[in-house]
A and B are shown apart, each in its own frame.
Chain A
Amino acid sequence: MIGIFPGLLNGAVITLQLLVASMFFGLIIGLIFAILRINKNPIINNFAYGYSYFFRGTPLLVQLYLIYYGLANIELLRNSFFWVIIKEPYWCAIIAFSLNTGAYTSEILRSAFQTIKKGYIEAAQSLGVTKKITFYRIQLPIAIKQSLPAYGNEIILMLKGTSLASVITIMDLMGEARKVNVLTFKPFEAFITAGIIYLFITFIIHNIIKYLEKKYGFQT
């Protein structure tokens, strides 16, 4: 029972790496697409909407398979230098997770941008603050603060999503648990222990977000 712990903890480290990397890239993607979504040009706007619709409307597993198995099918990509990245399951997982969480993050940020009171922007305008500074110093900080609770949920959803990496041969926490199950034929020990580790990580993330909300939370 205790013997399975080191392996699972190694897996947990991989899980956390995947989570941090995809949350980081996902946040950048989400921010870009949220800004595109509030753009008034219908083509840009619809492009961003299409992106988020696709990634929120299909299962993460489909996206992962499309990138891991599907992209390798394109001759052009196989001969380019991208192949170095795409041939590694680890990077495929990060790309799929980042694009997926990016779509959800863009929706969270968009709704946060749209619920900012018009009065703030009007006040900034009447004070002669330029559009750029209004965006960076007023709209963006308020949007980030407002979207904290929803973003916390998204981090936890993504933590659960990283378990899919085990399907494309990555030895994350889930992969290690599967290995233990195959080697020992003890599904309950393997999966329940892994479940407890997942719950523990969820619990920590939940509390960090709660703390941030308390510290930087925004009351309107």
Chain B
Amino acid sequence: MELLSFGDTGWGDELFFATLITIAVSIAAMAIGFVFALIFTPLKLSKNKTLNVIGNCYTTIIRGVPELLVIYLLFFGGTGAAMYVASIFGYDGYIEINAFITGALAIGIISGAYSTEVFRGAILSIDKGQFEASKVLGIKKHIQFYKIIFPQMLRLSIPNLSNVWQITLKDTSLISVTGLVEIMRQSYIAAGSTRDPLFFYSVAAVLYLMLTFLSMKLINKLEIKYSKGY
């Protein structure tokens, strides 16, 4: 237990801040994923063949390759690409992109693919009569989406989004390979310097279990709140 004390002698405070970083990366990734999902869901549902193919390519490719691959590609490729762009503008120094940003973006792209599938399923399960009714009432297409379809889509996708959240939370452990000090990286450092990997990885496992447990409870509450009256 001494190993977990706060302050200079223990790893308690380091692990606490690492947990906050994990939560921050997960939320950032989830938000980025939302943006991606809101762009690609209409593409997947569109009647235009080309747009359809673009939407399908995104979800198929991202869900078909390992998460680690996306992270490496952005981490190593991103630096190169940024330096290339900078060299056009006459800057030849080394640019290092922040590990937090690359990590959140990589995990966001992945969770976006899952969210896209969730949103698509939710929209497809909305009764067709609602689209027809709003058309008959002369509601414009974008207002129909924002005022009628979008709120229902969010409510219907809460249970499946909670799965996506769990996957995203667990995927953030992979960002540790790029050096961002979240739970996994911090336990790796602690395990290395105290030579007690069993203890610190167990602590990491408990921290992740706590996060998944607490977020499950929270999402269940949300689900009950928003399904009132249905």
Chain A residues positioned under 8 Å from B209 (CB to CB): 53-54, 57-58
In the complex, which residues 184-230 of chain B have their Cβ closer than 8 Å to any Cβ of chain A? Answer: 184, 187-188, 191, 196-199, 201-202, 204-205, 208-209, 212-213
The residue on B at minimum CB distance from A188 is B77
Shortest C-beta distance, A211 to chain B (Å), equals: 18
Given contacts A160-B67, A187-B76, A59 and B198 within 8 Å (CB-CB): no
A59 to B187: give the CA distance in the assembly, Å: 13
In the complex, which residues 37-77 of chain B have their Cβ closer than 8 Å to any Cβ of chain A? Answer: 60-61, 63-69, 72-73, 76-77
Q: Is there an interface contact between A71 and B173, defined as CB atoms closer than 8 Å?
A: no
In the complex, which residues 119-176 of chain A have their Cβ closer than 8 Å to any Cβ of chain B? Answer: 156, 159-164, 166-167, 174
Chain A 170-200 near chain B by CB (<8 Å), digits 1 or 0: 0000100110010001011001101100110
Q: Is there an interface contact between B73 and A54, defined as CB atoms closer than 8 Å?
A: no
Chain A residues positioned under 8 Å from B202 (CB to CB): 66, 70
The interface on chain B, measured as residues whose beta carbon lies within 8 A of the other chain's beta carbons, has a size of 37
Q: Is there an interface contact between B76 and A65, defined as CB atoms closer than 8 Å?
A: no
Shortest C-beta distance, A101 to chain B (Å), equals: 14
Q: Is there an interface contact between B208 and A58, defined as CB atoms closer than 8 Å?
A: yes
Shortest C-beta distance, B106 to chain A (Å), equals: 12
Shortest C-beta distance, B107 to chain A (Å), equals: 12
The residue on B at minimum CB distance from A200 is B64
Chain A residues positioned under 8 Å from B204 (CB to CB): 58, 62, 65
| Complex A-B: 20 CB contacts under 8 Å | A53-B209, A54-B209, A58-B170, A58-B212, A59-B170, A61-B173, A61-B184, A65-B187, A65-B197, A65-B201, A73-B196, A156-B64, A163-B66, A167-B177, A174-B66, A177-B69, A188-B73, A198-B66, A199-B64, A202-B65
